[in-house]
Structure 1
């Protein structure tokens, strides 16, 4: 067996702050309160915060109610995103000016948010921070790069996303309310927002979060030894289903892979929760045609290894799936020799 992409660095310490720290907490009550107040106005944030948190005992439950409420109540405004993108591009080589613009623009974003409950990522992050502060919980806005299957970046890309860190029980945690809220659909009628609340980005594992979130201030990654920006750009595409199951791609570390025909590639992942081997699969796509293959799968403690022999000299998109969901994607170029 030949391994492609040896693990080159340790991305974290053993005490990563993540949702599993609160596995003993039942968030049902917090979520129920958020849904109960879903249609409440933003005109009076102290009252909204009180209604969301007054009957919850712990800070993490209070923050959960705030986070869920934002995710189910606020619409992602694509036009605001385009405005932010344009300004970020203009100031991409002036970080101080960019921070000053963010600080001046954020209140304007918030004014629009209050009136229409619509905003871009900056507004989501700002609202999370303000509501948390009113609940006595410290949160920070993090600016950086978000990377998805439809938003691939390169070394010249400008910062395009904002999210939050939050301090709970003396530890900092990561979350992304924008991506939790839903997604922008681009079709013939123009962009539209599709509400689809997803809590996988709530107190996400820093080791997984860094796969598609890269902060301008690398300390905000919450990792002792974070990857370089170059390594981040070269990594595989990681989908939201990975966050649902907290599955972390370990190897290969790069999305673009080149091998000689009849070589194996082994895709290694870790998971805090046990995975049914039968639910793991590998899908190969070439020229718009997809086929499922049966890789050799080995469970190694909390890690899972899918190995497949690539015998045909051609280029593939290789997708690792859990059930019906994509976890990560790679591009495999198989040469004759």
Structure 2
């Protein structure tokens, strides 16, 4: 059987299960309880299923339904774990002890951060004899991460089925956190997001990139391609398909028109552009009592982009007239969704 045919079969299976069987698998997984023995739990989650795909989905669904993100631990800041060991074998033993204690803590508290999610998922896959690895790497979560690799503080997983690699981010799939004005996380909202289940690599690497890509089978995205993509807000990554410009670092000349084109299934009522030279003023602000207040004068000063929307294909342009232009932000209905860096060429 050729590699292409294997990929086609797995892809067809994913479509089939996504349409018909995932709901059944999820329902079965969510009915299972942990009673102190992880091996028993994994057996309960996988015994009704014959394929690695089904077993993996069951484990994934149980974790996202039962483990909450520990935002309070995250707010304390990450601690670097070091081991004092005599030799490589001793270090391996101590590392394994640490991982086992981490997994037991996540199961006992029903909470964890990314290292807990990814370690628990790998351990459960190991028990089910499913090939899985933990991936430490970079993520882009802020608009200023465009043109750089983002922050090296996240962990996720890769599952290998039929010799093909699929990415799973249990942390982001389990839900999301809300934050205050100081950037501190305030609560976790448990809401499963299946976009981070077997995410296509071209979508996954919009905001994820492994620290050691050479350790991932058939991984062909370069660090430079990841780094230099446009910034895309996390909530629209699953839905948007950028036609042009695909590169996040633009190099126009004075007098050029930059043409933007993307497919997006939602109806956008207003599109705006902010730059380092001119920004639309915010028309909501928070007063000293913490209340949100509307500013009519600022609202009337808003500038809007003339755009076309033909069956979900959006098009508009921006005219470059100042050599001090450094970035272009694109707002959908007053919210920042995309960003490009600009380097004017002579």
TM-score, scaled relative to structure 2? 0.70
Question: 2 CA distance for matches of 1:219 and 1:320?
Answer: 36
Name which structure has the greater RCO, CA cutoff 8 Å, separation 6+. Answer: 1
Report SS of the residue matched to 1:56. coil
1:113 equivalent to 2:98? Answer no
Match of 1:60 in 2: 53
Match of 2:202 in 1: 207
Q: CA deviation at 1:113?
A: 0.5
**Which stretches in structure 1 are left out of the alignment for 5+ residues?**
1-12
Q: CA deviation at 1:261?
A: 6.3
Question: 2 CA distance for matches of 1:223 and 1:45?
Answer: 31
Question: 2 CA distance for matches of 1:156 and 1:206?
Answer: 16
Match of 1:9 in 2: none
Question: 2 CA distance for matches of 1:84 and 1:237?
Answer: 25
Q: CA deviation at 1:74?
A: 1.0
1:24 equivalent to 2:19? Answer no
Q: CA deviation at 1:175?
A: 1.1
Question: 1 CA distance for matches of 2:218 and 2:241?
Answer: 14
Q: Is the 8 A contact 2:261 2:314 kept in 1?
A: yes
Report SS of the residue matched to 1:244. coil
Q: Highest Rg: 1 or 2? A: 2
Q: Is the 8 A contact 2:232 2:339 kept in 1?
A: no
Q: CA deviation at 1:304?
A: 5.5
Match of 1:310 in 2: 319
**Which stretches in structure 2 are left out of the alignment for 5+ residues?**
283-301
Q: Is the 8 A contact 2:139 2:153 kept in 1?
A: yes
Question: 1 CA distance for matches of 2:338 and 2:258?
Answer: 13
Report SS of the residue matched to 2:160. strand
Match of 2:41 in 1: 48
Matches of residues 247-326 of structure 1 in structure 2 within 5 Å? 247-249=240-242, 251-257=244-250, 259=252, 263-267=256-260, 282-285=271-274, 286-289=279-282, 292-296=304-308, 306-310=315-319, 317-319=328-330
How well do the aligned residues superpose, as a CA RMSD in angstroms? 4.2
Question: 2 CA distance for matches of 1:156 and 1:331?
Answer: 15
Q: Is the 8 A contact 1:180 1:199 kept in 2?
A: yes
Equivalenced residue count is: 305
1:137 equivalent to 2:148? Answer no
Q: CA deviation at 1:263?
A: 3.3
Q: Please, which moves more after superposition, 136-145 or 248-257?
A: 248-257
Q: 1:57 to 1:154 in 2, by over 3 A?
A: same
Q: Is the 8 A contact 1:146 1:160 kept in 2?
A: yes
Q: CA deviation at 1:319?
A: 3.0
Question: 2 CA distance for matches of 1:268 and 1:80?
Answer: 41
Q: CA deviation at 1:152?
A: 3.0
Q: CA deviation at 1:232?
A: 2.5
Q: Which one of the candidate residues 156, 168, 176 is aligned to 1:183?
A: 176
TM-score, scaled relative to structure 1? 0.71
Match of 1:160 in 2: 153
Report SS of the residue matched to 1:24. helix
Question: 1 CA distance for matches of 2:330 and 2:62?
Answer: 33
Could you give the per-residue CA deviations for residues 82-101 of structure 1, whole angstroms, max 9, x where no partner exists? 6773428x99xxxx9xx979
Report SS of the residue matched to 2:220. coil
Match of 2:289 in 1: none
Q: CA deviation at 1:32?
A: 1.4
Could you give the per-residue CA deviations for residues 175-228 of structure 1, whole angstroms, max 9, x where no partner exists? 101011122222279522222211101000111111211101213565553222
Report SS of the residue matched to 2:78. helix
Q: 1:158 to 1:292 in 2, by over 3 A?
A: closer
Q: Is the 8 A contact 1:132 1:138 kept in 2?
A: yes
Question: 2 CA distance for matches of 1:102 and 1:47?
Answer: 24
Q: 1:330 to 1:243 in 2, by over 3 A?
A: closer
1:239 equivalent to 2:258? Answer no
Tell me which protein shows more strand as a share of its residues: 1
